Homo-oligomer: A and B are copies of this chain.
Amino acid sequence: MRGAGAAVPGGVHAFLRGHDRRVRPMRAAQAALRRMRPEGFDGRCACGLRQRTRAAICLFPLRGFAGRPINECLKLERRVAMADKRKTRQTQLDETLLQRALNLARRGVGQTTPNPAVGAVIARGDRILGQGYHRRAGEPHAEIEALRDAGGPVRGATLYVTLEPCSHFGRTPPCADAIIRAGIARVVFPLRDPDPRVRGRGERRLRAAGIQVERGLLRDEAIALNESFLFFHATGRPLVTCKWAVTLDGQAAAASGDSKWISNAASRRYVHDLRGRSDAVLCGIGTVLVDNPSLTARGAGCRGRQPIRVIADAALRTPLGANCIHAQPGGPTWFLTTRVAPASRVRQFEAAGCRVLRVPGRRAIIDFSRAIAALGEQGVQSIFVEGGPSVHAALIRAGLCDRVVAFVAPKVIGTPPGWRRTPVYGWGRDRMRDALGLVHVRIRHFDGDVCIEGDLPALAGVFRRL
């Protein structure tokens, strides 16, 4: 036995967690492998499984590392450690303080819509003079909060802010001017604000005032914080996430149509969180008629905010007593419909407090391109779509599905002869190699259920171009 000498004390993964985005581990590991002579490895991997041979597989769910031999991970750890040593002290300090600003920004998530969540820290060297975050739309921006928090003079200090400072008069005056006035010497921020009223103007104004500007640090973290805001302003339409649940054998319902419940209570709690983080929740008339969902957000992460309930209902067949209209606490209910919906029916829904948006189009089915655009015009930045199969298929066909969140439950329901029900129906590719491959796959576990979340490549492209 090779014994304890070769054991890995959890360090590989602990280490990689912080670094996997920066070094593109797959490529680095492959390059490292090309150079080195692979050798056997016998130790306990942090993933908890005993690894015995050079072919041992790392099962830790790190993006890009799952399934890699453990000795590749080890080699990579050394490479990353070397790269870190080369990093300058200044970069490390910048990263620490910008990370602090990101943590501050997180406190505002879900409260600032339609504004982004932003945090700011003002420091001279490693001494923090002031900090703050944007609390609510209409209240001061993070930069102003930090300047106020500093109280005294900040001339010559560095401002760390999680998004480009604004340059326009909205409900508050432009932050860039306040920064210039305060005498800040250097501004560090991760990425430009794609809002057409800013889009580089804030940065240019700072530079014109002689302020040193550094952009690009902790970019991915800053994107993750405000995904739908950034996507909305970069593309002009809301970010659309399709969510479904399937059994292990790929069924979205039992033979009777019954689908209560595929996923377990822990998964459903997470779904409520996801609803609460979206501006709108959307489902089709089929789902309303079969499941009568409430479409409310009852998760811990909602912080009292309820998404708009959007029903795609071409002929307004939703019963007037449906849960999606009356269940409380719930957001306002909007109907997407077509020209075939009777005017009397529209009046009934309006009388019940709903809003009815007629989507232009010649046919009696909803044109989702126009429907999603119409929601965007109403300021909806993110839509969480909960089926059914035809709605998912229509969105995918129109190229409007940006992200997929699929819950897979460890149960087998089977399909009787002649009967099958899958979560995407009405659109399909002929060859497996033409399947829509998701990128940046995130995998979560909920008491045995697995939640697989991934982005369509186009979404990743939008964020890359920010």
Contacts and interface: CB of A to CB of B under 8 A. Distances in A.
8 contacts: A248-B406, A254-B434, A396-B414, A408-B408, A410-B441, A411-B438, A414-B427, A415-B425
A407 to B, nearest CB: 10
Interface in A61-91: 61-64, 66-68
A213 interface: no
Given A106-B52, A430-B256, A423 B249 contact: yes
A365 to B, nearest CB: 13
B244 A249 contact: yes
Interface stretch (A179-187, A202-210, A378-386, A442-450): A442-450
B432 A254 contact: yes
A67 B447 contact: yes
Nearest to A55: B300
Interface in A248-265: 248-256, 258-262
B14 A10 contact: yes
Given A61-B61, A434-B254, A446-B67, A412 B404 contact: yes
Interface string A379-422: 00000000000001100100000001010101111111101111
Given A59-B444, A249-B244, A255 B428 contact: yes
Contact of A253 (B103, B432, B449): B432
A48 B428 CA distance: 36
A412 B426 contact: no
A443 B409 CA distance: 11
Given A52-B106, A249-B422, A259 B432 contact: yes
A424 interface: yes
Nearest to A411: B435
Interface of A: 1, 10, 14, 17, 26, 46, 48, 50, 52-53, 55, 57, 59-64, 66-68, 103-104, 106, 244, 246-256, 258-262, 266-267, 269-270, 300-301, 392-393, 396, 404, 406, 408, 410-417, 419-438, 441, 443-450, 452, 454
A261 B106 CA distance: 40
B448 A66 contact: yes
A270 B420 contact: no
Nearest to A301: B55
B254 A430 contact: yes
Closest 8 CB pairs of A and B: A250-B250, A66-B445, A55-B300, A414-B428, A67-B266, A420-B420, A67-B446, A416-B428
A77 to B, nearest CB: 15
| A392, A421, A427, A448 interface centre (most CB from chain B within 10 Å) | A448
Contact of A254 (B103, B255, B300, B431): B431
